[in-house]
Amino acid sequence: MEWSSRPESLTAPVNPDPRGELYRILMSHRCGLPNDDTLARMLATQAVGGGALPMGLGLEPADFDTLLARHFPGASRPIVPPRPAPRWDSRLVEELGELISLLQLYRAGRDESERWLSVIVATGCMSNDHLWEDLGLWSRRDLSELMQRNFPTLAAKNDHDMKWKKFLYKQLCIQEGVYLCRAPSCAVCCDYSQCFGPEE
């Protein structure tokens, strides 16, 4: 998908906080839907070269166009710096569809954007940093709120505040009846910090 290069397109202004300015511009066009704020943060981050999602937040071009028109009607299309095609671990790519299905299974059923976020969050799991960073969110709290709003039943299962990427893959294992962790409980596991440590 090509990104607009027209003069009126949304570009990063020259100021100390270009991401914040782009976010404010997008939010001035928000439609008042549940995920306007979350998507504006992702789009603003990607427009200044941050995050790890592919162009268009990992969505199909038609879905991305629909997302922009639905959540930010009248806003110019963000111009995103060129980024190389993602180089994902082939083993993770095999699980992308399973992650999307897992998230869609637990959709809140309140808004169409939940379907797109299923794809976006699953795509973010293909990269190597903290999930909230790879998605272009601004904090782990942003990601927790995304999960609670869009996939509340699934989010409620994370009652010990496990790192979200670890948690999602653990849910896949449980769904498949595969249990790779041999510790009798998380509290005594030698890898506890990898699953529950800070994500800042």
pLDDT value, residue 27 = 97
17-29 pLDDT tens trace:
999 999 999 999 9
As a whole number, mean pLDDT of residues 49-55 equals: 94
Q: Is the pLDDT of residue 161 over 70?
A: yes
Exposed e or buried b for every residue in 86-104, given b needs 16+ CB within 10 A? eebeeeeeebbebbbebbe
Answer with the residue of higher pLDDT: 158 or 176: 158
Q: Is the pLDDT of residue 184 over 70?
A: no
pLDDT value, residue 195 = 57
56 vs 3: CA distance, rounded Å = 9
Tell me the pLDDT band of 8, cut-offs 50, 70 and 90: very low
151 vs 165: CA distance, rounded Å = 14
Q: Which helix (H) or strand (E) covers residue 43, if one does? A: helix 36-47
As a whole number, mean pLDDT of residues 132-157 equals: 98
pTM: 0.83
Q: Which helix (H) or strand (E) covers residue 133, if one does? A: helix 131-134
Averaged pLDDT score across all residues of the chain: 86
Residue 10 per-residue DSSP state: B
Tell me the pLDDT band of 182, cut-offs 50, 70 and 90: very low
| DSSP string over 31-82 | ---TTHHHHHHHHHHHHTT-SSPPGGGG--HHHHHHHHHHHSTTPPPBP---
Q: Is the pLDDT of residue 197 over 90?
A: no
State percent of the chain over pLDDT 70.
Answer: 81
As a whole number, mean pLDDT of residues 144-166 equals: 96
Residue pair 39/114 in contact by the 8 Å Cβ criterion: no
